[in-house]
Amino acid sequence: MVALNDKKYQRALFFAGIMAVLIVAVVAQWVRKDVLLKDAESQVRGEFSQIERVSESLASPLRIQQLYGEFDLSKHKDRFIVLNLWATWCAPCVAELPTLQRLKNHYKNSNIDVLAVSIDYQKELNDIAAFLVKHKIGDVALNHDAQGDIQKSLKIDGLPVTYIIVPGGRVFYRITGPAHWDSRKIIRFIDEVRQIP
């Protein structure tokens, strides 16, 4: 039988108490984050055709062809990324590109990358660049999934589709359908989400 005044027993109780408090604090923080995310989602739900919280890790490599070389998305896991997939033949995709350009401009001095990536199979990057010039769309969409890495890695049911990727390389949201990406509600949503995970 252990005496209650035994110092080892008292020390063990003390550390067990500290561990219990830490566990409760971690669980409370996790619940708080989930509540904040659900609130943020409800505030922006009307802005999207569909928003779905997911938890998928990015495969590697995820190469995006750009004008001056290749960008491997899987090597930028320290960034918060808004990744939009579009095609020249998709009218809703093309219509939302200017709002993605404004979103990119809004976050230009932050840790957020906004990339609109063409998944046109039969086009070269030069064709996409000419298309963007013709439609007066900036550099946000001057990206091409030339090797199909992104299409193989991520679930694509239709276009446009946008993924919000949090630091660590985890896909956190899949958003289907066009949106006005520069709206106040969506910017507030992105600001909320980037603070939580």
DSSP states along 95-157: HHHHHHHHHHHHTTTTTEEEEEEE--TT--HHHHHHHHHHTT--GGG-EE-TT-HHHHHS--S
Residues listed for the chain: 197
What's the pLDDT score for residue 29?
59
Partners of 174 in the β-ladder: 52, 163
Best-predicted range by mean pLDDT (89-103, 136-150, 182-196): 89-103
What's the pLDDT score for residue 127?
94
Domain 49-195 CATH class label: alpha beta
Whether omega for the bond prior to residue 167 falls within 30 degrees of 0, making it cis, is no
pLDDT-based confidence at residue 69 (cuts at 50, 70, 90):
confident
What's the pLDDT score for residue 28?
56
DSSP 169: T
What's the pLDDT score for residue 87?
97
At 11-63, the pLDDT tens digits run 877 777 787 777 766 555 555 667 777 888 888 989 999 999 998 887 777 88
pLDDT-based confidence at residue 4 (cuts at 50, 70, 90):
low
What's the pLDDT score for residue 172?
93
Partners of 69 in the β-ladder: 66
